[in-house]
Structure 1
Amino acid sequence: MHLNFLALAVPFFLTFMGLEYLVAHKRGKRYFKFNDSVANISVGIAERLLDTFTVGLFYFLYDYLHRHYALFDIKPGVLLWVALLVCTDFIWYWYHRLAHEVTLFWCAHVVHHQSEEFNYTVSARITVFQAFIRTGFWAVLPVIGFPPAMITSMLLVHGLYPFFIHTRTIGKLGILEYILVTPSHHRVHHASNPKYLDKNYGDVFIIWDKLFGTFQKEEEEPIYGLTKPLESNSFLWQHFHFLLEMFYSVKRASGWRNKLCVVFGKPDYVDPAAREVLEESFLLRNRTITETPKLNNYVVWQMAATLTLLFIFLLLEYYVPVFVQVCVTLLILLTLINCGAIMEQKRWVFYLEYARYSVLCFALYYYWPHPSLLTLAVLVLTTALWFRSRLKERYYRLVYGYTRT
């Protein structure tokens, strides 16, 4: 069988998240919060899922640039692998730095910094938007002459290392602090303390930060998250809030020069009042949230089912028809939106179940296009709509432990 063994990354990373949780618990440290961890993993699931559709596009770009514009004919060798690692990390430094210094790039990267905790689940907060931006920077590598297969292999290795520096369970590492980006260095990067802002952009080597004046060692206890906390578990709001803030600020800015400064200048140009205004229109925050065991258990079971489906989907990717791939993608994304909405106890979350049911029926009909299945699906949906009020009441009792009004 032609399996996609990159799917093993899912249980691999989950195992280390679990181990870190056990170590922190044994030490009496509360490094994990339920809502925060669910939100982090949700972002990671979406990115890994959408990577299925983009990785081929990225490879095609590298291959096209290498065949048409390569300056040198580089062949794999020990020294050239080392050179590729150094070049990859150097480009990463500038991508990462500009992702903090340019509003348009920060719109994609801000998601990685929203968590107010710091643990292995935070490393999952990578979006597909970041992947597109990074690819634009890494497109320099095939132009230099590095072969696409060599680049792709290096990016897999280079992308693995940062996972292990998102932790508070590892202290300072002696002499390695002078060479590599360590957990201590990266804790500084994720902190919102004034002295830690915009520091330590490196991914593997810390030498770039020391060379370009952006290095800061860990001194005081870091405070994690954005300088203005997001305070939302919404999957959609986490992904798009700053993009909306940018558009809002562009609309309010006078003159093309000021509008361009908002988009391509520092994030400081974004109107600080934009978020509060947009929250009133889009977020509709529920101020009376009461967590219940039923709510948390329902979210846990949904996340467990989603991770299992993601693993199977990735493992058998080459055997899944395109239509079913689209259905699985929609089903997982709807579930992630559902989990975020449930944690915020939104009233409209009940109606997402109709959407998930419809997608599931389409996928089943693809494999068994029999009129009886279609008839049954329509009958069930019609019955559900007829008894909508009663079903809604039971749904809220099941999920929240009480009836929503």
Structure 2
Amino acid sequence: MHLNYLAFAVPFFLAFIGLEYLVSRRQGKTYFRFNDSVTNLSIGILERLLDVFTVGIFYFVYEYLHRRFGIFDIKPSMLLWVALLICTDFIWYWYHRLAHEVSIFWCAHVVHHQSEEFNYTVSARITVFQAFIRTGFWAVLPIIGFPPAMITSMLLVHGLYPFFIHTRTIGKLGILEYILVTPSHHRVHHASNPAYLDKNYGDVFIIWDKLFGTFVKETEEPVYGLTKPLQSNSFLWQHFHFILEMLYTVRRTSGWRNRLRVIFGKPDYVDPAARGELERIYLVQSKEKGSSTKLYNYVLWQIVCTLVVLFTFILFEKYVPVPVQVGITLLILLTLINCGAIMEQKQWVFYLEFPRYIVLCIMGYYWWPHPVFLCIAAIIMITAFYFQSLLKEHYLRMVYGYPRT
């Protein structure tokens, strides 16, 4: 069987997240919060899912650039693998630094810094937007002459290391602090303390930060998250809030030169008042508070089921027809939006069940294209619409513990 063994990254990471949770509890520390962890995992689930469709695109880009523009014809050897590691990490440093210093790049990277906790789940906060931007930076590698297979293998290894530095359960690591990026260094990077802002960009080696003057030691307890906390669990808002803030500022800025400075200059040029104005328009907060147990249980089982579907889908990717792949992607996306909206206690979460049902019906009809299936599916949908008010009240009571008007 042609299985995609990269699927085992999902249970691998989940096992370490569970281990970190147990260690933190044993240390008497509270490093995990339910809402924070769920939003972190939700973003990671979508990125892992979209990787199925984008990895081939990235490989094609590397292959095309290597074949058409490669300066050298590099063959794998121990020395050149080391050279590729150093080049990859050097390029990462500059990608990462510019992701903090250029608004258009910060639009994608800000998602990684929104969490107000710091644990292994934070490493999952990578978006497909970041993947495309990083590919643009790493495109220099095939032009140098590194073959695509070599680059892809290195990026897998290089991408594994950062997972283990997103933790508070590991202290300082002695002599390794002078060579590698350690959890201590990366805690600084994720902190919003004024002394820690825009520091420690390295991914594997800390030497680049020391060389280019962006290194700071961990001396005071970090405060994690953005300098202005997001205060929202919305899956969509976390992905798009800064893009909207940047466009809001551009719209209210006169002169093309000034507008371009907002887009390609520092994120500081984005109007700080934009967030509050956009939140007022798009994020109407619920004043009611539901049963946390009901809410958490419903979100939790959805995330667990989504992880099982994700693992199975990636593992058997080559055997899943394209229409079903699209259906699974839509179903997972709707579920992640649902989880974020439930934690925001939105009333419209009920209506998300209709598109989820439609997607399931389309996939079901693909496997069993029979008129009887369509008739049953249509009867259920018509019945649901007819008893919509009653179903909505029951649904919201089940999710939040109270009916809403």
**1:25-64 to 2 correspondences below 5 Å:** 25-64=25-64
Q: Which runs of 5+ in 2 are unaligned?
A: none
Partners of 2:200 and 2:206 within 8 A in 1: yes
Q: Which residue number in structure 2 is paired with residue 19 of structure 1?
A: 19
Q: Which residue number in structure 1 is paired with residue 215 of structure 2?
A: 215
CA distance in 1 between partners of 2:198 and 2:17 (Å): 27
Deviations 1:273-303 (A, max 9, x none): 1011111221222243345201100000000
Q: Which residue number in structure 1 is paired with residue 332 of structure 2?
A: 332
C-alpha distance 338-153 of structure 1, shift in aligned 2 (>3 A): same
Q: Which residue number in structure 2 is paired with residue 299 of structure 1?
A: 299
Partners of 2:5 and 2:315 within 8 A in 1: yes
SS in structure 2 of the partner of residue 228 of structure 1: coil
CA distance in 2 between partners of 1:34 and 1:238 (Å): 16
Q: Which residue number in structure 2 is paired with residue 87 of structure 1?
A: 87
SS in structure 2 of the partner of residue 76 of structure 1: coil
Q: Which residue number in structure 2 is paired with residue 98 of structure 1?
A: 98
Partners of 2:246 and 2:270 within 8 A in 1: yes
Partners of 1:178 and 1:206 within 8 A in 2: yes
Q: Which residue number in structure 1 is paired with residue 344 of structure 2?
A: 344
CA distance in 2 between partners of 1:282 and 1:53 (Å): 30
C-alpha distance 183-291 of structure 1, shift in aligned 2 (>3 A): farther
Is 1:282 equivalent to 2:282 in the alignment? yes
CA distance in 2 between partners of 1:280 and 1:400 (Å): 24
- How many residue pairs are counted as aligned between the two chains? 405
Q: Which residue number in structure 2 is paired with residue 399 of structure 1?
A: 399
CA distance in 2 between partners of 1:316 and 1:132 (Å): 25
Q: Which residue number in structure 2 is paired with residue 323 of structure 1?
A: 323
Q: Which residue number in structure 1 is paired with residue 67 of structure 2?
A: 67
CA distance in 1 between partners of 2:356 and 2:319 (Å): 23
**1:5-404 to 2 correspondences below 5 Å:** 5-404=5-404
SS in structure 1 of the partner of residue 369 of structure 2: coil
CA distance in 2 between partners of 1:5 and 1:222 (Å): 37
- Residue type of the partner of 2:332? I
Partners of 1:279 and 1:285 within 8 A in 2: no
Deviations 1:116-142 (A, max 9, x none): 000000000000000000000000000
Deviations 1:30-57 (A, max 9, x none): 0000000000000000000011111100
- Residue type of the partner of 2:75? K
- Residue type of the partner of 1:343? M
CA distance in 2 between partners of 1:341 and 1:135 (Å): 31
CA distance in 1 between partners of 2:291 and 2:211 (Å): 48
Q: Give the RMSD, CA atoms, in angstroms.
A: 0.6
Shift of 1:211: 0.1
Shift of 1:177: 0.1
Partners of 2:99 and 2:109 within 8 A in 1: yes
Partners of 2:191 and 2:224 within 8 A in 1: yes
CA distance in 1 between partners of 2:321 and 2:160 (Å): 29
Shift of 1:75: 0.2
- Residue type of the partner of 2:288? T
CA distance in 1 between partners of 2:139 and 2:50 (Å): 20
Shift of 1:397: 1.1
SS in structure 2 of the partner of residue 16 of structure 1: helix
Partners of 1:289 and 1:344 within 8 A in 2: no
SS in structure 2 of the partner of residue 30 of structure 1: coil
CA distance in 1 between partners of 2:296 and 2:325 (Å): 29
SS in structure 2 of the partner of residue 271 of structure 1: coil
TM (normalized to structure 2)? 0.99
TM (normalized to structure 1)? 0.99
SS in structure 2 of the partner of residue 29 of structure 1: coil
Partners of 2:184 and 2:218 within 8 A in 1: yes
SS in structure 2 of the partner of residue 74 of structure 1: coil
CA distance in 1 between partners of 2:391 and 2:290 (Å): 21
- Residue type of the partner of 2:226? L
User: Which stretch shifts more, 278-287 or 347-356?
Assistant: 278-287
SS in structure 1 of the partner of residue 215 of structure 2: coil
